[in-house]
Each structure stands twice: as C-alpha cells, then as structure tokens.
Structure 1
C-alpha cells in the first residue's frame, strides 16, 4: 500500500499564515459590509479545528476497517501514478464528496454532525477550521472507490487534498474569479452561497473542489445578493462542546417526544426541518429545510 502524505497536516503552517494575512487585511482595509473576525467566534473555530484532529482519529477506525476489507476482496488495483491515476482518483473522490456533503444537509442525523461547520455567523478563513467532532457516515460514501481498486491510503490522501482546497474559499476578501474558473471550480463566491442562511441560498453548492457536480445535479445557485451567514435558527454559545453537540441534543428531544417508530425514523432520516404530519422537506422548497437548534 503506498505511503502518501496527509495534506491537511502539511498545510497547517499555510493555514495559520493565510489566516494572519486575512486578519491584517481587515485591520488595514476594513469593510463595513464584512463581518471580519471576532475574538470568541475565532477562538471557537480554532478549538473545533484542533479538536477534530483528535476525534477524527477514532471515527476513521471503522472506516479504514471497512476499506481494508473491501480492498482485500476486490481484484482491482489502481496504481498511484501522479500525472495519470491520481487526478482521476481526485475526480472520483470529489464526486463522492458531493454526495456525502449533500446527504449531511438532507438527513437530519448527518446534519447533526455537519451543522458545526455552519454555526458561525462570520465567514472567514477561520470558519474553514470549524470542523465536526463526529462522523456518522463512517466513510461509506467513499467505499465505491476502494471497490474500484483505489487503496485506502489513496482515498485518505485525496480526502485530505479536498479538505485543504476548501480552506481558501472561506473568505469574503476574494470576489468573483474569471468566468471559466467560476464555471468549473468551487470558489469563494460559490461557497459563500453554501454558507448563507437565507431563501434560495439554503442547501446549495455542495461541491468540494469542483462546482460542476452542482451544475449537473441541479443544486447550483450563483451569488446574486449578499449572504447572511449562520443557521436559520442560530445558537448563542461559543462553548466548543455545545457547538459540537447542540443538534444531537435537539434531535434527542424530538426523538423523546415522538409518537412511535414512524416519527422517530422521520426525525432521524428526513431533512432537518421535518415535523410529523408535514410533507417531507425533500419535497418542499429548500428555504424550509435547514433548521438547527
């Protein structure tokens, strides 16, 4: 099995340097329309990011156990060739990421883990570091890559590259890029829409590196008005533990009040805005979908 680097760990110095540069840019050229940085919010984002480096080690154990079983069973093997197969692996991983990311917005149990990343009302490079401390997908969305012969190490490498790419798009300091770039790649403009909490911006632009998946599968929305960041029902805490668990607590309260297994399953697997007796949020306008306690 190839020994591939963890792009996230190698990029930490760059994350720190770019964040400092962005902070300085706000000090030199403040913009009253941009939130910039606030101390407690930034501290929470950094704490969530550092915590995720530790907690993710535990969540990766079942994922890699699954990958190793699948890799031992499949007869296929894809060699790691930097200028041929690695770009194809990255393409395949990005496709799987799109569906994984989309599911974390459309299934409340998975939204409970992902809501952490959307909980800040600021949008800056530190927001990129506000990562969940849980992962209930257990790597299942990337299992097809392993079945096709991509080694578990290569899957992990591609995932780390995808995560590193998304760091720089968490900023308001970069406006729209040239049209060909905006058409193909995920950019700050596209990702600002994804983090917005208003109207037709909800549950849009799920792509990681590429935005073409959203264009192909009907989830793309361009940035046409200034985003309002955060949740449709914001939390008022900077406590990292509460940030990491508040939606699990809300889900637990709903499960406790449910009348029977049909409602319990509805709360778990319908969209975050689902309530008994209502049409499934999947059939409703996306403006009613993304709700968090």
Structure 2
C-alpha cells in the first residue's frame, strides 16, 4: 500500500503556532466570560500530551500485533486509492463516535477518557490533555480491519481525526455558518461536550462530523454558557494523578463492594452508578451522570 504520512507529527508546528496565537489573543483582547489560560493547567495539559506519546508507543506494540493478525485472517482487502481514502475517513469517524460514546458510559473506559475532561479550562492546550491508557480504544476499530482496511490506514485516519479536533477546543470562535454547524464538529458543539451541566452531559461525541450525534440522538446545541471540567473536579496538577485518579477510585469501590455483581457494576456500568443499597446516599448524583470524579480532591 502507498506510504501514508504521520499527520499528527506533521501538525505539531501548527499546534504550537495556533496555541501561541490564542494565548496572545487573550492578552490583547481579554474576555470576561472565557476562561483563558492558567499556567499550571496549561503545563499539565502539555505534560499529559507528551506522556501520551510515550505510552501510546508502548500500547501500539500489542495492538498492531492484534490488528495484523485480524488483517491476515480476513480475505477482504480495501486498496488505498483517491476515492477509498475518504470512505475510510468516514468509516473511522463513525467508529470513533461509538468509541467516544462508549468511553463516557462504561466506567472502566471512562477511567481512560476522564483525563481529557479533567481541566476546568477550555483552550487549545486542553486538546493536548490526552490519556495514557488508550489500550481501551483499539477494539472499536477491529470491524474496519476485518473488512480489509490496512492497519496503517487506520492509523492515518485516526491521526487525521485527532488533528481535526485540535481546533475545536477554543472559546475564541463563535458559532459558524449553519451548513458547517449542521455537518461538522465545531467549537460550539465541542464546548457542549466538555461542559459539566446536566443538560450537556453525554452529548456531541462526534470527531469530524456531528451528523452521527444528530442521527443517534446525542446532539445538543450550545445555548447557555458551558461550565467546564468534571461534575466533581479533582484539585491537582500532578500528571500521574490526573492519569490514574479514576482507576484508583474504581479500585476503592471494588474493594468496598459487597458482591460480585456490584464489583462488575463498578467496572462496566456508568460512571455515576451505585449499588441499590447505596443509591439513596448518592441521590444527588444524576442518573447516568457521565463525569463524576469520585476521588476526593488532592493536591
């Protein structure tokens, strides 16, 4: 198959330039409502992004082995051509939607993804706040491999999806023309996704396209100003704690659980789930709540 570039690597200079431009824009034109930048928060986000590069390289070893095995077993082959590549991008975006949605409603997956939502700021460095345990993502793309898409094409389309999402992490861009807002994920749609208000939780999972949310009932338009972060925020800038706090909370809940069904629930039910005996004590948590950081604040 033809060589496909590493779009994330090639985009790093643009990431840096756009982040600097956004920082300068807040200096020159402060916004009373926009959160802007906080040095420790931005440094944590950048640190999480750099750490994710290291850990992703480790996770890729077994994941590539599994993908390669599936690819060798399937008799199907999809060539990388000028007209098949857009179809691969469309398919990857579809499976990304379900991966992203799954990582909000299954707690053990949320433990990975919560990292990206842990900042109370919303700016371009937030896009860099990536998890270190992305081994939870690979199963969602196995169908594409089984249909004959080469693993390298999956890597390329996933990188393109990630690069696209960088620019939607900003408060400096308002709503765009209606056709763009209807079809694509935009800063307005993604602000909703990062909000912690009840009406905004578990909404707007799309990567490049927002049409999946419209089709599958998870779309909400931006109306009131979002409040960013978790429903119970963690007061730490320690990258290791940011990366692992929800796994630690799951471990505590499993140790305290009184039955195997409760232990399974803490792993595979929603992040806000509690066993029946303790639901009364957790009545303040909304049913199906997507972003409770159950760990107590740390420093």
Q: TM-score, normalised by structure 1?
A: 0.96
Give the conservation status (yes or no) of the 8 Å contact 1:197–1:230.
Answer: yes
Residue matched to 1:255: 254
CA distance in 1, matches of 2:290, 2:40: 28
* 2:39 equivalent to 1:39: yes
Over the residues paired in the alignment, what is the CA RMSD in angstroms?
1.5
Residue matched to 2:76: 76
* 2:145 equivalent to 1:155: no
In structure 1, the residue corresponding to 2:271 is in which secondary structure? coil
Unaligned segments of structure 1, at least 5 residues = none
* CA-CA distance at 1:285 after TM superposition: 6.1
CA distance in 2, matches of 1:3, 1:139: 22
- Residues 271-290 of structure 1 correspond to what in structure 2 (within 5 A)? 271-277=270-276, 278=279, 288-290=289-291
Give the conservation status (yes or no) of the 8 Å contact 2:106–2:269.
Answer: yes
CA distance in 2, matches of 1:181, 1:211: 10
* CA-CA distance at 1:261 after TM superposition: 1.0
CA distance in 2, matches of 1:2, 1:61: 22
* CA-CA distance at 1:286 after TM superposition: 5.9
Give the conservation status (yes or no) of the 8 Å contact 1:132–1:244.
Answer: yes
In structure 2, the residue corresponding to 1:88 is in which secondary structure? helix
Q: Deviations over 1:226-254 (max 9, x none)?
A: 00000000000000011001111111100
Give the conservation status (yes or no) of the 8 Å contact 1:70–1:147.
Answer: yes
Give the conservation status (yes or no) of the 8 Å contact 1:193–1:221.
Answer: yes
Give the conservation status (yes or no) of the 8 Å contact 1:48–1:131.
Answer: yes
* CA-CA distance at 1:5 after TM superposition: 1.2
- Residues 11-50 of structure 1 correspond to what in structure 2 (within 5 A)? 11-50=11-50
Give the conservation status (yes or no) of the 8 Å contact 2:76–2:146.
Answer: yes
Q: Deviations over 1:163-199 (max 9, x none)?
A: 0000000000000000000000000000000000012
* CA-CA distance at 1:289 after TM superposition: 3.6
* CA-CA distance at 1:287 after TM superposition: 6.6
CA distance in 1, matches of 2:192, 2:18: 22
- Residues 86-165 of structure 1 correspond to what in structure 2 (within 5 A)? 86-165=85-164
CA distance in 1, matches of 2:66, 2:39: 41
In structure 1, the residue corresponding to 2:134 is in which secondary structure? coil
Give the conservation status (yes or no) of the 8 Å contact 1:202–1:287.
Answer: no
- Residues 94-243 of structure 1 correspond to what in structure 2 (within 5 A)? 94-243=93-242
Q: Deviations over 1:85-136 (max 9, x none)?
A: 0000000000000000000000000100100000000000000000000124
Give the conservation status (yes or no) of the 8 Å contact 1:186–1:208.
Answer: yes
* CA-CA distance at 1:2 after TM superposition: 3.6
CA distance in 1, matches of 2:114, 2:66: 26
Q: Deviations over 1:5-63 (max 9, x none)?
A: 11111100000000000000000000010110000000000000011011001112222
CA distance in 1, matches of 2:200, 2:208: 19
* CA-CA distance at 1:75 after TM superposition: 1.1
CA distance in 1, matches of 2:266, 2:80: 42
Give the conservation status (yes or no) of the 8 Å contact 1:59–1:138.
Answer: no
Residue matched to 1:57: 57
CA distance in 2, matches of 1:218, 1:153: 32
